[in-house]
Amino acid sequence: MSAVDLKSDVPHSARIYDYLLGGKDNFQADREAAAGIAKGSPNLPTSMRANRNYMARVAHYLAAECGFRQFLDVGTGLPTAPTCTRSSRGSPPSRGWSTSTTTRSCWCTPAPC
């Protein structure tokens, strides 16, 4: 198995996002890039957290109240808390959970009858 080069000296959008949300999966280059971004948009970290919290509420509502059981979580490449899956599974599962995660928002579809 070959070693993976994470290019920790080059900022990456997923790690910048992680840092701005208060995560731990980032490097100095990501933190420096995030600082530059936040300098121009000081409310960005707050709005990003609000966006994640909104996604969590919507996913939970769709699962608990509307019976949605299939979720497609499209992200930037790193799992970010709270995940769409964990948010939706806060409701009691009945049958047929299906979660797909891919790289690049949370799309949901109702379970087939």
Instruction: Provide the domain limits for residue 76.
Output: 58-110
Indicate the number of domains in the chain.
Answer: 1
Per-residue pLDDT of the chain in tens (113 residues, 90 and over written 9): 678 888 999 999 989 999 999 889 999 999 999 999 999 999 999 999 998 899 889 888 988 888 887 877 777 577 777 777 677 766 555 555 555 555 444 555 555 53
Q: Could you tell me if residue 69 is inside a domain?
A: yes
Q: Is residue 95 part of a domain?
A: yes
Domain annotation covers residue 98: yes
Q: Where are the beta strands (DSSP E) in the chain?
A: 68-75, 98-103, 106-110
Please report whether residue 49 resides in a domain. Answer: no
Residue 51 lies in a domain: no
Is residue 21 assigned to a domain? no
